[in-house]
């Protein structure tokens, strides 16, 4: 698999590491937040930090879609699944704990819950099971929203009466603003989410650079991509510029994918408020299904308890998601909260900062960092 290994080469990594070290301003600390869970996963999986000098610290942002779903929404999903429905969701959501149990528990107790890889698979199930209501649990940032939009459009074209979507889509900019506006925020720069940018483009991050004077480099997901993005960020500081740059230009067009943006905008609209795990309620940060597609909105079709659940007091997911503490600095990390018995969502998905840290980085095997 040459096309992948090219982005994982050790020789190039060493060369980049050397360049990064040269450009670092002596004595300056750099706190760089990678927004996307995919980056977090890759950083730990490949041991990228090993190539960075001490003065660069990578902190993990709110871009793991599973991690930001609040407990109450999980309980709402479970409540829908208990009815006479076929409930479909991505595999990552199965083990996410609600207040008392997870969808995986509900499945073992009789809910008909099926893992799908796309909302279009759920649509297919609906077409084959006309006598049953089929619900899809939609989560994710602008990355996954276009496929939800397509499913809505197809459901309408097919005139389906047994398909609906429980929409939990969120958008990327509001949580970043929320983090930057929060007290004691110390983020110096962002590694931008490549997959989100493939849809919405790089230009949406210009407001971060303009308002907060923070470099944003949209990055690919291979280890050399990430290392190169760090290099580009450090170079901006060195050259004293602040800009949005596109490291992932082999996939990301600077102005995004207009067809995908149009699909989202025509089927979904911004909610005034949406609750985020650990970050609280953020204005204009969630997407809901437009009235034109209201018949496919599970929130119209079913009675949703709208459960508000306060987060477990011990859990510090919020601070982890804001980059204020490292996963291992959370008071329950690795003790009460482990991947097999997660308290917080960050410990569930492999892209969650805590799970990635627990699985790959619990200790550094060799000295050096």
Partner 1 sequence: MQNVQENSSKYSNKIITMAAGAGGKTSKALISSLILPALSNDYLEELGDGAVFSLGADKLAFTTDSFVVSPLFFPGGSIGDLAVNGTVNDLAACGARPLVISLALILEEGFWLESLERIVRSIQEAANKAGVKIVTGDTKVVERGKGDGCYINTSGIGIVNENAVSLGPSKILAEDEILITGPIGDHGTTIMLARGDLGITADISSDTASLADPIAAVMEQCGKAVHAMRDPTRGGLATVLNEMAESSKVGIEIAETDVPVRQEVRAVSELLGIDPLYIASEGRMVIFAESGYGNQILDILRTFPQCQDAALIGKAVDLHPGFVVEKTIFGGERIIDLLVGDPLPRIC
Give the whole-angstrom CA distance, residue 287 versus residue 8.
36
Q: Is the dihedral of CA 6, 7, 13, 17 positive or negative?
A: positive
Single residue of 79, 104, 154, 266 touching partner 1 by CB under 8 A: 104
Give the whole-angstrom CA distance, residue 306 versus residue 292.
23
The DSSP result for 109-144, as a single string, is TT-EEEE-SSHHHHHHHHHH-TTSEEEEEEEESTTT
Least Å distance, CB 190 to partner 1, is: 18
Single residue of 28, 50, 250, 331 touching partner 1 by CB under 8 A: 50
Our CB check for partner 1 shows the closer of 147 and 164 to be 147
Query: Binding to partner 1 (CB under 8 A): which residues in 203-242?
Result: 223-224
Helices (H), the chain: 2-5, 10-23, 37-46, 71-81, 103-108, 119-128, 145-158, 173-181, 194-200, 206-212, 223-239, 258-267, 298-301, 317-321, 353-361
Number of residues that bind partner 1 (CB under 8 A): 58
Least Å distance, CB 128 to partner 1, is: 12
Exposed/middle/buried for residue 213 (C-beta within 10 Å: 0-12, 13-18, 19+): exposed
Single residue of 61, 62, 65, 192 touching partner 1 by CB under 8 A: 65
Our CB check for partner 1 shows the closer of 94 and 325 to be 94
28 with 55: CB under 8 angstroms? yes
> What are 204's two structure tokens?
């949406």
Give the whole-angstrom CA distance, residue 256 versus residue 202.
7
Q: Does 54 bind partner 1 (CB under 8 A)?
A: no
Least Å distance, CB 368 to partner 1, is: 10
Q: Does 139 bind partner 1 (CB under 8 A)?
A: yes
Radius of gyration of the chain (CA): 21
Least Å distance, CB 42 to partner 1, is: 9
Q: Does 345 bind partner 1 (CB under 8 A)?
A: no
Our CB check for partner 1 shows the closer of 130 and 335 to be 335
Stretch of residues binding partner 1 (CB under 8 A), selected from 112-120, 173-181, 297-305, 306-314: 112-120
- Phi, psi values for residue 189, rounded to 5°: -165, 165
Single residue of 23, 115, 270, 336 touching partner 1 by CB under 8 A: 115
Our CB check for partner 1 shows the closer of 92 and 275 to be 92
**Nearest Cα to Cα of residue 224 among 361, 49, 48:** 48
Our CB check for partner 1 shows the closer of 196 and 204 to be 196
Q: Does 85 bind partner 1 (CB under 8 A)?
A: no
61 with 279: CB under 8 angstroms? no
Stretch of residues binding partner 1 (CB under 8 A), selected from 88-96, 210-218, 266-274, 292-300: 88-96
Least Å distance, CB 27 to partner 1, is: 27
Stretch of residues binding partner 1 (CB under 8 A), selected from 48-56, 166-174, 242-250, 305-313: 48-56
The residues of the shown chain that bind partner 1, judged by CB under 8 A, are 1, 4-5, 8-10, 13-14, 38, 41, 44-48, 50-51, 65-66, 90-92, 94-95, 104-105, 107-109, 115-117, 121, 139-141, 143-144, 195, 223-224, 334, 338-341, 349-351, 358-366
């Amino acid at each position: 698999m040459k096309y992948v290994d090219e982005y994982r080469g050790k020789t190039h990594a060493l060369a980049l590491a050397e360049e990064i070290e040269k450009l670092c301003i002596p004595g300056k600390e750099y706190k760089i937040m990678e927004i996307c869970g995919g980056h977090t996963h890759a950083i730990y999986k490949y041991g990228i930090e090993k190539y960075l000098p001490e003065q660069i610290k990578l902190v993990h942002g709110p871009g793991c879609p599973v991690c930001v779903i609040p407990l109450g929404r999980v309980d709402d999903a479970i409540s829908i699944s208990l009815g006479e429905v076929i409930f479909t969701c991505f595999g990552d959501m199965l083990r996410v704990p609600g207040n008392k149990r997870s969808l995986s528990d509900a499945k073992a107790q009789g809910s008909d819950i099926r893992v799908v890889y796309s909302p279009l698979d759920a649509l297919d199930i609906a077409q084959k099971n006309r006598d049953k209501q089929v619900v899809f649990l939609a989560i994710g940032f602008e990355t996954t929203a276009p496929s939800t939009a397509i499913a809505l459009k197809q459901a309408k074209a097919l005139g389906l009466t047994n398909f609906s979507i429980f929409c939990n889509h969120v958008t990327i900019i509001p949580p970043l603003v929320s983090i930057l506006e929060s007290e004691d925020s110390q983020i110096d720069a962002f590694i931008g989410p490549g997959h989100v940018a493939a849809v919405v483009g790089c230009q949406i991050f210009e407001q971060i650079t303009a308002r907060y004077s923070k470099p944003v480099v949209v990055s690919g997901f291979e280890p050399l991509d990430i290392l190169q993005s760090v290099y580009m960020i450090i170079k901006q500081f060195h050259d004293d510029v602040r800009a949005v740059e596109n490291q992932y230009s082999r996939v990301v067009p600077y102005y995004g994918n207009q067809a995908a943006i149009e699909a989202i905008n025509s089927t979904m609209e911004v909610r005034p408020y949406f609750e985020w795990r650990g970050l609280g309620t953020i204005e204009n940060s969630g997407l809901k299904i437009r009235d034109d597609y209201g018949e496919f909105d599970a929130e119209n079709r079913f009675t949703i308890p709208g459960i508000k659940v306060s987060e477990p007091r011990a859990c510090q997911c919020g601070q982890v998601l804001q980059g204020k503490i490292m996963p291992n600095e959370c008071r329950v990390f690795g003790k009460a909260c482990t991947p097999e018995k997660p308290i917080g969502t960050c410990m569930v998905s492999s892209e969650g900062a805590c799970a990635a840290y627990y699985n790959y980085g619990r200790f550094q095997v060799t000295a050096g960092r």
